[in-house]
Structure 1
Amino acid sequence: MVQHVVAAAQQGVVDDLLHLPMPPAEKVIRTVAVYLGILIVIRIAGKRLMGQMNSQDLVVVLLLSNVVQNAIIGEDNSLVGGLLGAAVLVLVNAGLDHLTLRIPWLAWLLDGRPTVVVTDGLLDHRALLHLGMTPEELDNAIQAQGADSLSQVRRVAVEPGGSVTVELQPDARTATIGDLRRAVEVLTARLEAQGSGPARG
């Protein structure tokens, strides 16, 4: 009797791990559909959700996976189903990455283009409003990249991934070691040229 109970329990564990409650094709379709759906939602939500998140954005990101979980797995809690879903996600994502490298319009469709919010120190309030960013958030991003004010900035763009790229005015750029070395070489050459000139009486 005990052996039958143990054997039944073992068989139940095996069934839970390996038995798919839904056809594999349905699992693949569910996974791809949810992947594309989330991709569209994030594309519409804009670059802010990917980069400059506030507390509300963070809550949305944290809850997103729980909201769509049942849409992917349904009644499937099997190990095989989980591995199949993970494999489909990885393959679809890799395939889209490969296609976006070869098809520019698809890259634009999925990722978008950088949004320029500052040009020659002038803030584009409309572009900033479209992104859902406040001037304070933009100031923080600019200061984090070495600019104290908009007057020191030539161009600021919010990339499709949400990162902020800042191009400083030439006078506002921090000198590198190479810049200093070249300046010293120029000064040294000038001093040597003056020293080798004819002496004045």
Structure 2
Amino acid sequence: MTAFDWQRMLLDQFPLMFLAEVAVRAAFAFLAVFLFLRISGRRGIRQLSLFEVLIILTLGSAAGDVSFYEDVPLLPITVVFVTLLTIYRLSVWGMSHSPRFGRWLEGKPVTIIRDGLYELSSLNGLSISSDEFFMELRQQGVEHLGQVRLGILEIDGDVSLFFYDRDEVRMGLSVLPDDHRAEHRAVPHGGVYACTRCGFTQPLEPGQAQACPRCDNRTWTMALGHPRAR
């Protein structure tokens, strides 16, 4: 084999007209995916649930195969698309008639913040890092958990937040990056501190080292109490 053989690198053994066939195959794959999304209804073009991501990834794999591989005929791929569409429509029908089936297939919303505190049972079952979740909160204008009355992780991965009124905001755990909040095991001065794991707040004396009574964590950071900027 010769290095930098442009014929091999660009077309290999295929004739130049194969590029036109690739264009036709790609247009076919695009049309098939477009028709799938149109026929499947508006759910197909909103933010996707886990089940919908699975369907789209399977479609993408089939579309990629038919676009680039000359030995993949078009009709079997058409059957793939029709089969996936049928599975999708049957699943949507099943979810509309059986809430239990819908929860099994797509999951259900999970409460992750309640009354300015993390829901420990929910946190333990979620595969999400604190940094990633803090970023989600900051992008919605949250500076600390005391501003949030209720936070729900939706089935499509979005976080829905319901806020306290300005005069109801309480002290809470800062969600700012590490550079903007110091963490301590023995606090340097007195004040209200928040548990870095669950958000529980309590006054601590200078030099005090204490386990959180809610989750037994021993790391604290100064709690914030600012109202949320409008």
TM-score (norm 2): 0.42
TM-score under structure 1 length normalisation: 0.47
Greater fraction strand: 2
Quick one: higher RCO (CA 8 Å, sep 6+), 1 or 2? 1
